[in-house]
Amino acid sequence: MWMSAEAPADYVAFVDRRLPELCVRVAREVPAPGRAELLAEVLSALAGRWLLLRAATVLLRRPVLTERFLDRAVPRAGRRWRERQIYPVDLVVWETPETVAAAIRVPRVSVALRRAAVLDSTVRRESAALAEASIAWWHAYESRRRTGRIIRLTLVVLLVLIYLTTRP
């Protein structure tokens, strides 16, 4: 299936809507050092199948297909990430925010940090989603392009071999 080099607007919008939830899902799977790698892997896998998922959603009228894909992709990518590690990974799961707060004893906090909780965030969420979506789409695009080149090269080699073997 043909894939453009630029991420479509519906993919970027989907990533924008789902990025916070997806970050939480990824955080459940792997510790902090592997989260960015796992998130990129899942978003690239989603980008590679985006056109097919959108077509299936329209044809089958099932809007949950993309969610089902993510439900399977995140744990699968987490397993692959853990298998690539050369040491056992210890995971600590915090059940509630209260247990996290009880476990982390924060010493004195400055006035700026106390006021930061009520101020608007300086992080631009739409920029983060656009960046994540664009990078993942580019990786999927490059993978699809590389696969297409390999397939074309294989076909040319096969045709040349067939020609050489059938020639008298």
Domain boundaries, the chain: 9-90+126-166
How many whole angstroms separate alpha carbon 140 and alpha carbon 150? Answer: 15
Q: What pLDDT does 48 receive?
A: 86
4: amino acid identity, one letter = S
Neighbour-count burial for 113-149, b at 16+ CB within 10 Å, e otherwise: eeeeeeeeeeeeeeeebbebbbebbebbbeebeeeee
Helix axes 125-166, 32-60, angle to 10 degrees: 70
Residue ranges for the chain with pLDDT beneath 70: 1-2, 87-126
The answer to whether the CB of 40 falls within 8 A of the CB of 136 is yes
Q: What pLDDT does 115 receive?
A: 63
- Tell me the pLDDT tens digit for each residue of 44-69: 888 888 888 888 888 888 777 888 88
How many whole angstroms separate alpha carbon 19 and alpha carbon 84? Answer: 25
Would you say the pTM of this structure is higher than 0.85?
A: no
The answer to whether the CB of 57 falls within 8 A of the CB of 65 is yes
First to last CA, the chain: 38
How many whole angstroms separate alpha carbon 64 and alpha carbon 14? Answer: 13
Q: What pLDDT does 76 receive?
A: 92
Q: What pLDDT does 100 receive?
A: 54
Q: Name every residue whose Cβ is closer than 8 Å to that of residue 114 and which is 6 or more positions away in sequence.
A: none
The answer to whether the CB of 33 falls within 8 A of the CB of 87 is no
